[in-house]
Structure 1
Amino acid sequence: MGLALTIMMAACAPSTGDAWERIHEAGILRIGIDPTYPPFALDDGGTLSGIDVDLGRALAVELGLEPQFTYLGYDGLYDALTTGQVDVLISALVIAPERTKEIAYTAPYFDAGLFLVMPVGANPATGMDGLGGTSVAVELGTLGHVQALEWQRHLANLTIQTYGSVDEALGSVSRGQNGTALVDYVSARLYIRNNPVEGTGLTYSSDSIVSEPYAMAVRIEDRTLLAHLNDALIRLEKSGRLPQIIETNLGP
């Protein structure tokens, strides 16, 4: 999966009074994280691991800083940031437009949206086009189910098969009962990693059907820090380190 790191230049312009000078002098980047959300962050007996953990460490290295993780409940993340307890949030955060009066987001580093999953070697479906006359597996009541129902309004011969879990939906594709499944990216990757098969397995669309980008968050006044994080994120993407972090935690 590739996610373009598109950055608005205005968001990167330094401003006075931000925290970068203090961070640089201290040599520490204080990172707020919810350690209860694998595969992004999990504290397992004192061992912290996950995509956001590895990303935080890699960014700190790029910036010449030491990462310092502060454990927070999800509901307390933004409060900790706005009150100055941490410098940046790296915690599987969906960009929230309603927060942008106080919060600035980096370029996205991960797309957790909906992807189509199909057998390796099948015609790669990239959206509604090409799904007519096929069956799509979804987990009942999820965003994937809602999207498939929307497609069905335009494709009378599209069949939707609902299941009680993502794994059941994906298993039906693996067994040849359905042509594709429409599920979230993390579930697709973990299922493929955890269910290796001999011969033909499953693969997923190259781009998301419905995007759900995750980004880091800083205080709105910390423009210099935002610029440094965006620059470091670009370097991690170009070097292959960011894709490697994702593959390490989600599988090939």
Structure 2
Amino acid sequence: MTAGWRLVCVLGGLLLLLAGCGSGEDTWARIEASGVLRVGVDPTFPPFALAEGADVRGIDVDLARALADEMGLEAQFTYFGYDGLYDALTTGQVDALISALVVVPDRTADVAYTGSYYDAGQFLIAPAGSDLTGMADLDGRALAVELGALGHVEALEWQRRLPGLSVITYGSVDEALAAVAAGEAAAALVDSVSGRLYLRDHPTPRLALLAEPVTSEPYAIAVRIGDRTLHRELSAALAALEANGELERIVARWLD
């Protein structure tokens, strides 16, 4: 190898090293100085984010603005398809992702997640006043599920433990919940977003979502692994919104 090529290789290695160091930089000073929190959102997932003309509305948009306000910042949004969100974060196009993201353990080498701000897991919905407290109470009863959905898969697992559990499949979440309302099943097992939207749009006969999830699917905010101060500030702001009730008010505005 010539001296010239050795120099090129050394310089290339230094550039790669510097790029790696940059990805681990704590950018809070820049964010605080600018007064702007750059947020990446996928605007195709209602009710968390949905484009309406030039505007985007939803739970994630309201949450991002509330968090930014809590930190003394202004939220600035950039929109990506779901597949482009993490690339936008790791390449520095945005500071945080607030976009109904489930924690992905394989990404934690590059990404840090806050605590959960919403659990989109599977919940039981039963008639108001039912004596059901959980899946174990369904032995000898019928459970409505959407055919092929995660609730169906989970119900089949429970059916192995509860020989008396009857699992009835329907073509949609709405059909499964209508069956509960009609008395064809003791409860339905559905994801919390679809379930709450149904309850919002069908107030009678009154059904209720049980408090404890059967399976958990927490949504969290993602930042670059090196942005420790931003992670800490976002976590503190999220805790404050939860403590003062603003987080639940934001969620209820769209789901209840």
TM norm. shorter chain > 0.5: yes
- What is the CA–CA distance in structure 1 between the aligned matches of 2:255 and 2:40, rounded to whole Å? 22
Q: Is contact 1:136–1:182 with CA below 8 Å preserved after alignment? A: yes
- Alignment equivalent of 2:103, drawn from 82, 86, 95: 95
Q: Deviations over 1:23-61 (max 9, x none)?
A: 000000000000111000011112321110000000000
Equivalent residues in 2 for 1:218-233 (5 A)?
A: 218-233=223-238
- Alignment equivalent of 2:217, drawn from 209, 212, 222: 212
- What is the CA–CA distance in structure 1 between the aligned matches of 2:96 and 2:42, rounded to whole Å? 12
**What is aligned with 2:140?**
133
Correspondence 1:155 to 2:188:
no
Q: Is contact 2:136–2:162 with CA below 8 Å preserved after alignment? A: no
Q: Residue type of the partner of 2:116?
A: P
The alpha carbon displacement at 1:124 in A equals: 3.1
The DSSP-based 3-state class of the residue aligned with 2:76 is strand
The DSSP-based 3-state class of the residue aligned with 2:115 is coil
Correspondence 1:186 to 2:193:
yes
- What is the CA–CA distance in structure 2 between the aligned matches of 1:244 and 1:207, rounded to whole Å? 19
- What is the CA–CA distance in structure 1 between the aligned matches of 2:197 and 2:55, rounded to whole Å? 21
The DSSP-based 3-state class of the residue aligned with 1:81 is helix
**What is aligned with 1:47?**
55
- Alignment equivalent of 1:82, drawn from 90, 101, 106: 90
The alpha carbon displacement at 1:92 in A equals: 0.3
Unmatched tracts of structure 2, length 5 or more:
1-23
The DSSP-based 3-state class of the residue aligned with 2:145 is strand
**What is aligned with 2:253?**
248
Aligned length, in residue pairs: 233
Correspondence 1:56 to 2:61:
no
> Which ranges of 4 or more aligned residues in structure 1 deviate by more than 6 Å?
none
- Alignment equivalent of 1:28, drawn from 5, 25, 36: 36
Higher Cα Rg: structure 1 or 2? 2
Q: Residue type of the partner of 2:209?
A: Y
Q: Is contact 1:125–1:131 with CA below 8 Å preserved after alignment? A: no
- What is the CA–CA distance in structure 2 between the aligned matches of 1:49 and 1:240, rounded to whole Å? 20
**What is aligned with 2:5?**
none
More helix by share: 2
**Which structure would you say has the larger RCO, counting Cα contacts within 8 Å and 6 or more residues apart?**
1
The alpha carbon displacement at 1:196 in A equals: 2.0
- Report the TM-score when normalising by structure 1: 0.91
Q: Residue type of the partner of 2:192?
A: Y
The alpha carbon displacement at 1:87 in A equals: 0.1
Correspondence 1:65 to 2:70:
no
State the percentage of identical aligned residues.
58
The DSSP-based 3-state class of the residue aligned with 1:106 is strand
Q: Is contact 1:115–1:204 with CA below 8 Å preserved after alignment? A: yes
**What is aligned with 1:202?**
207
